[in-house]
Amino acid sequence: MRIGFIGLGIMGNPMAKNLIKAGHDLTVHDIVAERIKDVTSAGARAGSSPQDVAARSEIVITMLPNSPHVKEAVLGSNGVILGVKPGSVVVDMSSIAPLVAQEVSAGLAQKGIDMLDAPVSGGEPKAIQGTLAIMVGGKAEVFERVKPILLKMGSSAVLCGAIGSGNVTKLANQIIVALNIAAMSEALVLAAKAGVDPELVYQAIRGGLAGSAVLDAKAPMVLGGNYKPGFRIELHIKDLQNALDTAHAIGVPVPLTSEIMEIMQALRVDGKQQDDHGGIIQFYEKLAGQLVRGAQ
């Protein structure tokens, strides 16, 4: 199948390469030329613009930073909407505001083009492995058509409802992930300052009720002082802002989300916005005057 892929950053790059490995004919585009060169060297073809990518493709996938980028790439000048062919499907795998997903979908619908919003969870490691969790909103028949392609990039793809539902699900996911990292951070800093080896604390609790995919992904990183981004704090701030805006718009109080947002904002002010979101622990280390890495 001829697939277009727009957005070749930390996540988009390995996702696109997994589609190439699966044997798909891939045309790609990114505003950074070096990213295009890297993926074309793996077997893709370069598109000169989102419009050009869409003109060459049956399925167009976008994986971009935030709502304005998706609107511009799909509905803007040189956008997907100007090149997409009847019968094609646009799949936005970015994490954006649900209302924007609905707006973009409505714009495409005027040309008879179906869209799915299909944000992902798992960060760079699972993008590389092709084991992302994919949360999808849209028509059931469109989802079934695209699902085999999604499963070349993820280990699961679940239809959550109508268009926008994928991003509502992703916002719920991001709240849970952020608060899990914060809880882990508080606990490990407490252990370290109490004189208990945080590595042993992690090993002791990971098999019990406190164990989680978040704990297993992030504890080894923070114990080694590794904040190389799989998912940057600044991107998590973007997702939590979308969560707060959505929650406030529909009358849902989210006090813990507000609190972790302020912690991330403090880290951004401290110049740590490009650290992995596991770097939330640095906020607690600073408050307690206690480093977790190397503590025993």
Q: Which residues are catalytic?
A: 170
Q: Rounded to an integer, what distance in angstroms lies between the CA atom of residue 99 and that of residue 138?
A: 13
The secondary structure of residue 163, as a DSSP letter, is T
Q: Structure tokens of 122?
A: 């798992």
H or E stretch at 160: strand 154-161
Write the CA distances from 156 to 19, 66, 202, 213, integer angstroms: 15, 23, 28, 15
State the Cα angle at 128 between 125 and 134, rounded to 5°.
80
CB 227 within 8 A of CB 291: no
DSSP state, residue 276: B
Phi then psi for residue 186, to 5 deg, are -60, -45
How far CA 276 is from CA of 64, 125, 145, 166, 187, in Å, comes to 18, 12, 35, 24, 19
| C-alpha–C-alpha distance, residues 173 and 239, integer Å | 10
Distance in angstroms (rounded) separating the CA atoms of residues 263 and 281: 10
Phi, psi of 172 (to 5 degrees): -60, -45
Encoding tokens for residue 106?
Answer: 């409505």
Residue 283 corresponds to which amino acid? F
